[in-house]
């Protein structure tokens, strides 16, 4: 399977055995974190969703429910503690945040509260004794940034998030006004491998994803819009 959860019996450490797996719907992207509480497994998907699975029978995990909201486009990690799941997220308002989800009824998860204002690059969250501990810094292959340009006398910001996982490159960005957007992929020798996007885009939020058939290795994603260019490194693994 391309993305999901595998359950392995390690009761005999010398001979681990796969006993079950869960494969999500195709519209969900890579798994970015998991946390087990009682018989429920909480699975964070990098796109914007939390899946709650019943793993009381580990050979046949079953979906209980999903949680998503309109202000999250990236989930970096999840930690379940007592009656709450704590999500480390990157929001559409371009802030790192911890969202607290009430999971007292796993079939109906609800947003209980959140804390915004974390530094960019949150990687992991851990909760104990009602304190949340967040590891901040570069988060795997994820890179965050902000394009700045001057339009008349006003300073506009075009914000973006690029990340690469396996053979997939995902891009999320927000445009303050309509402009041409070009996304190109280069190898380590500086040769263009592919033009992923060359299109005039309207103002607003945009998200896109490419599943590439290219050799494993280090690549550079070059993103150009509104006369401004930025290049980010990604590691692709087939």
Residues 127 and 9 reside in one and the same domain: yes
CATH number, position 179: 2.60.40.2550
Residues 129 and 27 in one domain: yes
DSSP string, the chain: --SSEEEEE-SSTTS-EEEEEE---TTS--EEEEEEETTEEEEEETTTEEEEEE-SSTTS-EEEEEE--TTEEEEEEEEEETTEEEEEEEETTS-EEEEEEE-SSTTS-EEEEEEEEEPS-EEEEEEETTEEEEEES-BTTBEEEEEEEEETTEEEEEEEEEEEETTEEEEEEEESS-EEEEEEEEETTS-EEEEEEEEEE-SEEEEEEEE----SEEEEEEEEETTEEEEEEEEE--
Tell me: do 183 and 150 sit in the same domain.
yes
- Domains of the chain: total: 2
Does the pLDDT at position 71 exceed 90?
no
Per residue in 122-168, pLDDT tens?
A: 678 888 877 888 876 543 333 333 333 333 333 333 455 665 666 77
Stated pTM of the model: 0.59
Q: What is the CATH number of the domain that holds 53?
A: 2.130.10.10
Domain that includes residue 98, residue range: 5-136
Q: Give the pLDDT confidence of 25-54 residue by residue, as tens digits.
A: 766 667 888 999 999 999 988 666 899 999
């Amino acid at each position: 399977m391309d993305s999901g959860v595998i359950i392995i019996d390690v009761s005999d450490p010398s001979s681990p055995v796969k006993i079950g797996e869960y494969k999500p719907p195709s519209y969900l992207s890579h798994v970015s974190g998991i946390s087990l509480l009682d018989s429920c497994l909480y699975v964070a998907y990098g796109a914007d969703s939390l899946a709650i699975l019943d793993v009381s029978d580990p050979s046949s995990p079953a979906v209980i429910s999903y949680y998503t909201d309109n202000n999250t486009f990236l989930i970096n990690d999840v930690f379940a503690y007592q009656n709450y799941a704590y999500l480390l997220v990157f929001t559409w308002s371009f802030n790192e945040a911890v969202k607290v989800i009430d999971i007292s009824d796993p079939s109906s998860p609800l947003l209980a509260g959140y804390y915004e204002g974390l530094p960019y690059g949150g990687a992991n969250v851990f909760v104990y004794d009602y304190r949340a501990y967040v590891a901040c810094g570069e988060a795997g292959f994820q890179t965050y940034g902000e394009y700045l340009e001057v339009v008349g006398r006003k300073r506009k910001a075009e914000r973006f998030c690029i990340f690469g996982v396996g053979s997939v490159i995902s891009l999320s960005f927000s445009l303050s006004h309509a402009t041409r957007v070009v996304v190109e992929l280069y190898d380590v020798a500086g040769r263009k491998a592919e033009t992923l996007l060359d299109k005039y885009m309207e103002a607003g939020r945009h998200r896109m994803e490419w599943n590439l058939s290219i050799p494993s290795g280090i690549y550079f994603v070059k993103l150009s819009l509104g006369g401004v260019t930025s290049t980010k490194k990604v590691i692709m693994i087939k």
